[in-house]
Amino acid sequence: MNPDTRYITPDAIAKVRRDIRDDLLPVFDQVRQILEENRAVGFPGWGPLGEWTVGELYRSLIESFLRDTQTALGVVRKWEGEDLTHAEGNWRTAEDLIVQRVKKP
């Protein structure tokens, strides 16, 4: 573990934001793209009996996975954008205020 990342600092929060943006969000986008590309099974598909048994379940699962992926993407994007930006600013303000308070006689 890098000793500089053991403590909460505005820079550490910014690094988490960058890691989410650069590493995590692309993975979610790739998963969503793979699910989109595999929504349908081309001809001959599952066949008449398979379509009735497997095809319906397959489509239901893909749709569920897509919804869950979209929900997760929304949450992670909010963390990366709004939530951690707000946390970073609050932490920086708190540090600035405590330094000012300590400097006062």
pTM of the model: 0.70
Give dist(CA 69, CA 28) in Å, integer.
7
How far is the C-alpha of 24 from the C-alpha of 92, rounded, in Å?
25
What backbone phi and psi angles, to 5 degrees, belong to 41? -105, 125
* Position 99 confidence tier, pLDDT thresholds 50, 70, 90: confident
Domains of the chain, residue spans: 3-103
Q: What is the pLDDT of residues 41-98, one digit of tens each?
A: 877 878 888 888 888 889 899 999 999 999 999 999 999 999 999 999 999 998 888 8
Residues 51 and 45 sit within 8 Å (Cβ to Cβ) = yes
**CA-CA distance, 39 to 62, in Å (whole number)?**
6
Distance in angstroms (rounded) separating the CA atoms of residues 63 and 42: 17
Is 24 or 9 the better-scoring residue by pLDDT?
A: 24
d(CA 34, CA 22): 19
